[in-house]
Amino acid sequence: MSVSLSSRRRFLGQAAAVGLVSSWPAWAQDQPAKAPVTPPPPSPDSGPPPDAPSPPVAEAPVEPPPPPPPDPTSVTLPLAGGPKDRPITKDFPQKGMMVLQSTRPPVLETPFDVFDKGPITANSQFYVDWQTGSPPAMVNTAAFRLAVRGNVSQTLSLPLSEIMSAFPKVEIVAVDQEAGNSRGLFQPRVPGVQWGHGAIGNAKWTGVRLSDILMRTGVKPGTIQVRFSGMDQPTPGAPKLMMSLDLAHARDGEVIVAYAMNGEPLPLLNGFPLRLIVPGWYAPYWVKMLNDIELLTTPDDNYWTATAYRVPATLHADVAPGASGYKTAPLSRMVPRAFITNIMPGQKLAPDTLTLARGLAFGGDNGVARVDFSFDGGRSWSPAKLGKDLGKYSFRQWETQFKPAAGALTLMARCTNTSGVTQAETPNWNPGGFARDAIEALDVTVGGDDASQ
């Protein structure tokens, strides 16, 4: 897969014009680097120049630093079934080290240690999910148009330059989470990508309000839903991904059409050049490479909305394995979750020592009200200290300290959101492997020769 540099240069030029980026990155420059200027050597009888340094004093040789450890080639995910090992790859454009779930179409998981670096997930290690289709390898930004059509007074065909300059710019920090994040922990196992906890990320998204675009097109009476699709091509034999929002949601001012992520143009694999951002909702609605918006007068009955992305209409979207005949509802709003990020499963801790526990939490479709921590398997809980609030749809870092006694311990973190919703005590199950919201348990050992201090 390649990236079209010439089309990205045009896009970056537009981004600089509206103040999104201050300059083009080095790889986007057309001019070759200038050769360094080398001063002429002095003549034999000219003597040293006035500002020449004194001759160096001989010093003892310095031992060279040891070489850095080699990059890992695989990672073991905390899955319920096998295989648990996944390869690590750096072979995708604009991406660093990622957990490889699939090559065609590209499906990449964020290594879990990335989440301990802070609440914002770097673009280079933000997860990638194209399991419903494949993105084009190149995008011609000069020819690109966003179509807005259907039950409208005026059909629109918007170039990127107009989207970026003719509408008010907005920003929001929001978590993007695949609906099947942590699917690999479902027991019994369900079909689909066997994700660990890394099909999730948090970014600052820059773009324009969807409501402003809809206002320009003129929404006709009778419109009930707005449907979105992108430039990706479906997997052979599969229907094209299309997702819909009710008109009131589409016009609420929170849904945006984004052209930037963490202050840079969207990476190709994360939806370049445009992506729909639906804060608080699962990622299937965050349509990547968005190029078509259609206003509908009847409910959208395409496969993805009517069949694929539905969950049991029960508490925690939970049913017993093998159950049938239950009612379903469209997958939509996310639920609260919390993770411990600085302690790994199986890690050995020092006994009777004050130990730091740190992690991330998010409230799903609302803000984080509190995070509680337990180091006795949930028998007792204490409140953790919350970090900076970046907005109600964002990750929020938390931390606390505890003093463990020797033996085996189970650590847990539990999030409660500002609507009063708390994570479930037991894992949910449904045949799609969607919307996991259980309190995650992390087993460690306290004591031993290699216990961390």
At residue 120 the predicted structure's pLDDT band, cuts being 50, 70 and 90, is: very high
Tell me the pairing of strands 146-150 and 290-296. parallel
Percent share of the chain, pLDDT over 90: 77
Confidence of residue 40 (pLDDT cuts 50, 70, 90): very low
Residue 81 lies in a domain: yes
Whether the per-residue pLDDT at 42 is higher than 90: the answer is no
Does any domain span residue 127? yes
Which residues span the domain enclosing 402?
337-446
How far apart (Å, rounded) are the C-alpha atoms in residues 189 and 107?
Answer: 19
Q: State which of 287, 308, 329 marks the end of a domain.
A: 308
Q: Do 426 and 304 belong to one domain?
A: no
Residue 340: exposure state from Cβ atoms within 10 A (0-12, 13-18, ≥19): buried
Domain match, 294 and 391 both: no
User: Residues 296, 367: one domain?
Assistant: no
Say whether pLDDT at 450 is over 80: no
What's the average model confidence in pLDDT over 408-426? 97
Residue 295 domain-assigned? Answer: yes
In a domain? residue 378:
yes
Q: Residue 43 pLDDT > 80, yes or no?
A: no
Overall size of the chain counted in residues: 453
Neighbours of 169 (CB within 10 A): 16
Average pLDDT estimate for 30-54: 42
The answer to whether residues 125 and 95 touch, using CB atoms and an 8 Å cutoff, is: yes
Looking at this protein, which amino acid is placed at residue 313? A
For the CA atoms of 437, 171, 213, 223, what is the dihedral angle to 10 degrees? 20
Q: Measure the CA–CA gap between 73 and 262, rounded to whole angstroms.
A: 28
Residue 409 is inside which H or E element, if any?
Answer: strand 407-417
Instruction: Tell me what percent of the chain is helix, strand and coil, each rounded to the nearest 5.
Output: 15, 30, 55
Q: Do 192 and 266 fall within a single domain?
A: yes
Confidence (pLDDT) at 5: 37
pLDDT in tens, 202-259: 999 999 999 999 999 999 999 999 999 999 988 888 899 999 999 999 999 999 999 9
| pLDDT (mean) for 122-127 | 98
Q: Residue 284 corresponds to which tokens in the numbers above?
A: 């299937």
231 touches 139 (CB < 8 A): yes
Comparison of pLDDT for 83 and 203, the residue scoring more: 203
At 55 the pLDDT is 56
Report the pLDDT averaged over residues 363-383.
98
> Do 368 and 275 share a structural domain?
no
Instruction: Identify the pLDDT of residue 236.
Output: 84
Residue pair 72/177 in contact by the 8 Å Cβ criterion? no
Q: Tell me, yes or no, whether 275 lies in a domain.
A: yes
Domain count along the chain = 2
Q: How confident is the model at residue 61 (pLDDT cuts 50, 70, 90)?
A: low
pTM for this predicted structure: 0.85
Residue 68 in domain: no
Same domain, 298 and 383: no
Clarify whether residues 302 and 406 are in a common domain. Answer: no
Handedness of CA 11, 12, 13, 16 (dihedral sign): positive
pLDDT at 51 (0 to 100):
54
Clarify whether residues 234 and 351 are in a common domain: no
Q: What is the CATH number of the domain that holds 433?
A: 2.60.40.650
Q: Check residue 132 and give its pLDDT.
A: 85
Confidence of residue 60 (pLDDT cuts 50, 70, 90): low
For the chain, what percent of residues have pLDDT higher than 70?
A: 85
Has residue 110 been placed in a domain? yes
Instruction: For residue 143, report the phi and psi dihedrals to the nearest 5 degrees.
Output: -90, -10
Do residues 272 and 383 share a domain? no
Q: Are residues 206 and 114 in the same domain?
A: yes
As a whole number of angstroms, the distance between CA 331 and CA 118 comes to 28
By C-alpha distance, which of 208, 232, 210, 227 is closest to 129? 232
Residues 213 and 256 in one domain: yes
Indicate the range of 58-67, 87-96, 262-271, 416-425 predicted with least confidence. 58-67
Token code pair at residue 226 = 């707005």
Of 290, 308, 326, which residue sits at a domain end? 308
- 32 in a domain, yes or no? no
pLDDT band at 445 (very low <50, low <70, confident <90, very high): very high
Whether 215 and 82 share a structural domain: yes
What is the residue-averaged pLDDT of the chain? 88
The CATH number for 152's domain is 3.90.420.10
